[in-house]
Amino acid sequence: MSMQKKRIAIFASGRGSNAARLIEHFAGSTHGEIALVCSNDAAAPVLALAQGHNIETFAFTKEALYNGNEVLEKLKSSGIHLVALAGFILKIPTAIVEAYPLAITNIHPALLPRHGGKGMYGINVHRAVIAAGDAYSGITIHLIDGAYDQGTKLFQARVKVDAGDTAETLAAKVLELEHRFYPKVVEGLCQL
Ligand code: GRF
């Protein structure tokens, strides 16, 4: 039985290391393919990386994301089935969330519901974990339902916070988990 590969769009704003792992993983997948890489930053290195893999890219402004439906139209015209947010800094507008029910994933570098919400991104998250004295941190991969860091959890993995950990060393440990598991979880969604 031949099955159509799920067409995945990645949204990334920054460094793009998770996007890179997703691109690597899906180059060898029979269930899904990265069909589009989107960013709100036309200069994001992830766009050049995608182009190097012959993946279509799409850059848009914050204004375009929130006013009008250019971004949603692009997803539709590219035949996108799944959206993987990978360090995407802006809130996904309701129209896109509603057009892609149960099909938009995000990865958060902590064990939600702890250390989520507005302003909780990047090193801030790991600083908060250290400041709280948590014994564990980790990753949460969840569906997007329109609010920051809410939505059905699909997967969590944890890592011990060691006595000598700083926000930076913890960030490195958590990022390793992200790279290891995000592609696998998105692959799992492609098989549904
Ligand atoms: C990751 O820590 C992810 O959990 C968060 O933003 C960061 C993105 O890192 N949402 P990168 O751009 O994938 O390297």
Q: If you take atom 12 of ligand 1, which residue's CA is the nearest one?
A: 16
Matching residue, tokens 């702890």? 114
Note the pLDDT tens digit of each residue in 17-55. 999 999 999 999 999 999 999 999 999 999 999 999 999
Matching residue, tokens 């039985």? 1
User: What confidence tier does 147 reach under pLDDT thresholds 50, 70, 90?
Assistant: low
**Is ligand 1 within 6 A of the CB of residue 16?**
yes
Query: Is the confidence at residue 137, as pLDDT, over 60?
Result: yes
What pLDDT is recorded for position 146? 66
Closest ligand 1 atom to residue 106 Cα is 10
Note the pLDDT tens digit of each residue in 86-128. 999 999 999 999 999 999 999 999 999 999 988 899 999 999 9
Query: Is the confidence at residue 56, as pLDDT, over 60?
Result: yes
| Enzyme catalytic residues | 108
Closest ligand 1 atom to residue 15 Cα is 12
Considering the entire predicted model, what is its pTM? 0.95
Q: For strands 136-143 and 104-108, give the pairing.
A: antiparallel
Task: Give CA–CA dist 148/154, Å, rounded.
Answer: 16
- When the pLDDT of each residue in the chain is averaged and rounded to a whole number, the result is 95
Judge residue 154's burial from the number of C-beta atoms within 10 Å of its C-beta, 0-12 exposed, 13-18 middle, 19 or more buried: middle
**Is ligand 1 within 6 A of the CB of residue 137?**
no
What pLDDT is recorded for position 149? 63
